[in-house]
């Protein structure tokens, strides 16, 4: 068996790079946004006034992704702010994945601007993995007009860590024998799956580098972080606790999220947004004639702290009401009462087998709901998505189908925009 070789391909400042590439394609004399202090920034009026992506010159001003535009302007008064074009980003993401699939036996899209490529067994075809990674990086720039970092290793974790080393437009390796030199000296907050709150607690416990984390007694981390402590200890030691990229066709998933224009502080309002998200997600599932059996809910609070929870259904479904009821249950189990800034719903473990089976007690009801949902889909397809909606949303300012691209940007097709990493 050949040794596993995994690439992690990560677009450098994706949204800004794609905007720059598009402008230069339209007009070769246009200003390259990557060469000046610039950011892609959301709509401040609708609570999206944050930095979504930044150029390297903007980074020199200590401008960070996710910070308010007001703060970024103070750091760099001449900062060029460009509004996002989500449809453009989806298009460039698809083109990138198509190019990767021309070369990699297996491509697993991780986010809108990232993918894992399982290159195991391709050495005879392409030559040395690092040399071919350099070729692939340059090919992406030549054909698509933007740069990427590529991390090369034997598992997904180390490949992803490697791609986060010095940027832009570089190839890095991080094999197990390189961990002590390349990864262990890094601060704990650079470790995958270590967020701000976890990093803060690790520093309080006296762990400042990934190496200190790797060499500590696992029981200490299990005591303070439960299962999460075991995960980050394994990551610090270079152990990918998930499976290497699957050689089977990757399962598709469906998901949408929405950043809310105000802080939501009550469950009823939050569940209204959940319903609007479930409407969109379930419609996309039915459009593909698919069924899902895993549902998850994610919450981002006003301090940008993330929470999520998921469950597996007894039987696959494509029914909006089942998605919504399950999402509400997960929300109740997850929400810590902190004001909510963003909420999301996703569905996975997809099957396209029409011979699915409902459980004995809900079969008749679910069959009726499935037929009703399908009829509603047809009406919306013919007369527009606003032709029929639930009474809950009538005479309210809230969209009855939300998440992903806004209605103005959807161009008639229910779609999804994954977040830039």
Helix (H, G, I), strand (E, B) or coil at 204: helix
CATH of domain 254-409: 3.30.1490.100
Report the half-sphere exposure of 205 (CA within 13 A, side-chain side).
Answer: 20
Tokens of 386: 């606003």
- Torsion 380-291-100-177 (CA) sign: positive
Q: Which residues of the chain have pLDDT under 50?
A: 47, 243-251, 354-356, 360-361, 404-421
Domain ranges of the chain: 15-86, 183-236, 254-409
Tens-place pLDDT, residues 109-118? 887 899 999 9
Cα separations in angstroms, 14 against 95, 96, 180, 253, 348: 13, 11, 30, 22, 25
CATH of domain 15-86: 3.40.1170.60
| Of 406, 399, 343, 381, the residue nearest 87 (C-alpha) | 406
Edge-to-edge strands, sheet with 340-348: 254-264, 340-348, 292-301, 306-317
φ, ψ dihedrals at 307, nearest 5°: -140, 150
Which uninterrupted H or E stretch holds 80? strand 80-82
Asked if 116 contacts 156 with a C-beta cutoff of 8 angstroms, the reply is yes
Q: Tell me, yes or no, if 114 is annotated catalytic.
A: yes
Q: Which residue shows structure tokens 């379930």?
A: 282
Q: How many CB atoms lie within 10 A of CB 30?
A: 12
Helix (H, G, I), strand (E, B) or coil at 299: strand
Sequence-distant (≥ 6) Cβ neighbours of residue 31 within 8 angstroms: 23
Which of the following CATH numbers is that of domain 183-236: 1.10.150.20, 3.90.550.10, 3.40.50.720, 1.10.10.60? 1.10.150.20
pLDDT computed for residue 417 by the predictor: 39
CA dist., res. 343 & res. 366, Å (int)? 26
Q: Which listed residue (114, 279, 385, 399) is catalytic?
A: 114
Asked if 33 contacts 55 with a C-beta cutoff of 8 angstroms, the reply is yes
Which residues pair with residue 82 across a beta bridge? 40
pLDDT computed for residue 46 by the predictor: 54
- Torsion 275-280-286-292 (CA) sign: negative
CA dist., res. 208 & res. 96, Å (int)? 37
pLDDT computed for residue 397 by the predictor: 66
Backbone φ/ψ region at 163: left (φ over 0), alpha (ψ -120 to 50), beta: alpha
Asked if 72 contacts 55 with a C-beta cutoff of 8 angstroms, the reply is no
Asked if 377 contacts 286 with a C-beta cutoff of 8 angstroms, the reply is yes
CA dist., res. 1 & res. 227, Å (int)? 32
Using a cut of 0.75, tell me whether the model's pTM lies above it.
no
pLDDT computed for residue 241 by the predictor: 67
CA dist., res. 131 & res. 119, Å (int)? 13
């Amino acid at each position: 068996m050949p040794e596993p070789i995994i690439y992690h391909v990560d677009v450098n400042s994706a949204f800004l790079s794609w905007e720059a590439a598009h402008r230069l394609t339209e007009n070769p004399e246009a200003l390259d946004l990557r060469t000046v202090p610039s950011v892609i920034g959301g709509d401040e009026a609708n609570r999206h006034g944050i930095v979504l992506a930044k150029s390297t010159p903007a980074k020199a001003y200590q401008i960070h992704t996710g910070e308010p535009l007001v703060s970024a302007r103070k750091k760099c008064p001449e900062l060029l702010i460009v509004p996002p074009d989500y449809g453009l980003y989806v298009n460039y993401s698809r083109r990138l994945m198509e190019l990767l699939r021309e070369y990699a036996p297996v491509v697993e899209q991780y986010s809108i601007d990232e993918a894992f490529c399982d290159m195991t067994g391709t050495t005879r075809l392409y030559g040395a993995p690092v040399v071919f990674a350099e070729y692939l990086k340059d090919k992406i720039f030549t054909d698509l007009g933007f740069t990427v970092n590529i991390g090369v290793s034997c598992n997904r974790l180390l490949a992803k860590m490697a791609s986060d080393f010095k940027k832009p437009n570089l190839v890095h390796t991080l094999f197990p024998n390189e961990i002590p030199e390349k990864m262990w000296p890094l601060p704990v907050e650079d470790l995958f799956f270590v967020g701000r709150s976890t990093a803060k607690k690790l520093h309080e416990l006296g762990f400042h580098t990934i190496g200190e984390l790797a060499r500590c007694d696992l029981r200490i981390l299990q005591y303070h972080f439960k299962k999460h402590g075991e995960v980050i200890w394994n990551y610090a030691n270079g152990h990918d606790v998930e499976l290497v990229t699957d050689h089977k066709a990757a399962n598709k998933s469906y998901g949408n999220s929405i950043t809310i224009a105000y802080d939501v502080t009550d469950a009823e309002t939050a569940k209204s947004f959940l319903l609007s998200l479930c409407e969109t997600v379930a419609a996309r599932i039915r459009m593909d004639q698919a069924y899902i059996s895993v549902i998850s809910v994610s919450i981002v609070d006003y301090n940008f702290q993330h929470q999520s929870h998921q469950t597996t259904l007894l039987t696959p479904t494509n029914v909006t009401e089942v998605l919504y009821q399950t999402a509400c249950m997960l929300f109740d189990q997850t929400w810590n009462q902190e004001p909510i800034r963003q909420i999301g719903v996703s569905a996975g473990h997809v099957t396209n087998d029409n011979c699915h089976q409902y459980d004995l007690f809900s079969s008749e009801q679910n069959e009726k709901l499935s037929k009703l949902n399908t009829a509603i889909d047809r009406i919306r397809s013919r007369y527009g998505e606003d032709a029929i909606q639930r009474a809950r949303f009538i005479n309210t300012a809230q969209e009855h189908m939300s998440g992903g691209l806004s209605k103005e940007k959807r161009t008639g097709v229910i779609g999804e925009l994954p977040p830039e990493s």
